[in-house]
Amino acid sequence: MRQFSRRTAMLAVPFLLGFLLFYVLPFGQVIFYSLTKSAMDPQFVGLRNFEDALNNRYFRLAAINTLKFTAGSVPLVVICAFLISLMLFYGMRASSSALHSAFILPMLLPSAAVVSVIRLYFSEEASPVRMWLERLGMEPGGIALTSVYFIFLWKNAGFQIILDLAALRSVPKDIQEAAALDGANCFQRFWKIVLPFVRPTILFGAVYAGAQALRIFRETYLLYGDYPKESVYFLQHYMNNHFYKLNYQKISAAALILMSAILLIAVLIRLLVGRRWKA
């Protein structure tokens, strides 16, 4: 037992050192920068950097835009993917590897290739989608936000569809047949049997989509640059612009505020939704 414990400890040492080197120490450095005047002047300023960030107009704009986009894009991806998976599952029983590959392909394509195509339809002055949206009365900021939503939905819906299809196939058929014999209609079987089985998968897909929503900056940056329309100005733009200016203290304060907000939202969702889903 002692020999086994020593071997286990020896194997764990590199992972612990890596975790300390690449996660704990940088996080401690972020906290240090957020409490000092600048990287060149380590004067303790307390919570001044946090106050400056919260009072900054562009930080508030970026935070609100990021929150709005996450709150809108995650349900959009989850609902659209689930509806498509239901149509595929009940309308086409046979699984196709080519179909699965088509769903995964958008995630594997380079962002530069995707953005170059999206630019032809949304960003160019004479692009067909842009002209059609302008005829509907949409402003340039709304068109830019629509293009970001489209990229996010196209890149992330396929993975969620595959997850939902796998969850639908795992629902026991004998339970549904027994419920049908007892007189339950299609809606009742779906609401009482199918949906409870696929809820964990939907929740996992929502968490994954939320993480991907925070990474949409890459495509937005390639489309609209450092200073895009205010409707698509996200927190990553704020941090990236201050990184170019070597304002590490503002980046650190913004990162800690973002991390605290994500943890708070996760706890609230767990408390509000978790109990209902267990019931």
Mean pLDDT of the chain: 83
HSE-CB for 148 with a 13 A CA cutoff: 34
Stretch 227-247: mean pLDDT: 87
Contacts of 214 (CB under 8 A, 6+ apart): 66, 70, 236
Q: Which domains does the chain have, with CATH numbers?
A: 45-278 (1.10.3720.10)
Which pLDDT value is given to residue 267? Answer: 82
Is the pLDDT confidence value at 95 over 60?
no
- pTM, entire model: 0.82
State how far the Cα of 161 lies from the Cα of 260, in Å rounded to an integer: 31
Measured distance between the N- and C-terminal CA atoms of the chain, rounded to whole angstroms: 43
State how far the Cα of 169 lies from the Cα of 111, in Å rounded to an integer: 32
Which pLDDT value is given to residue 27? Answer: 86
Size of the chain in residues: 279
Q: What is the pLDDT of residues 133-171, one digit of tens each?
A: 878 878 878 888 888 998 899 889 888 998 898 888 888
Which pLDDT value is given to residue 248? Answer: 86
Is the pLDDT confidence value at 1 over 50?
no
Which pLDDT value is given to residue 82? Answer: 92
Is the pLDDT confidence value at 41 over 90?
no
Q: What is the pLDDT of residues 174-226, one digit of tens each?
A: 887 788 877 778 888 888 888 888 888 988 888 889 888 888 888 888 888 88
Confidence of residue 274 (pLDDT cuts 50, 70, 90): low
Contacts of 118 (CB under 8 A, 6+ apart): 147, 150, 151, 219, 223
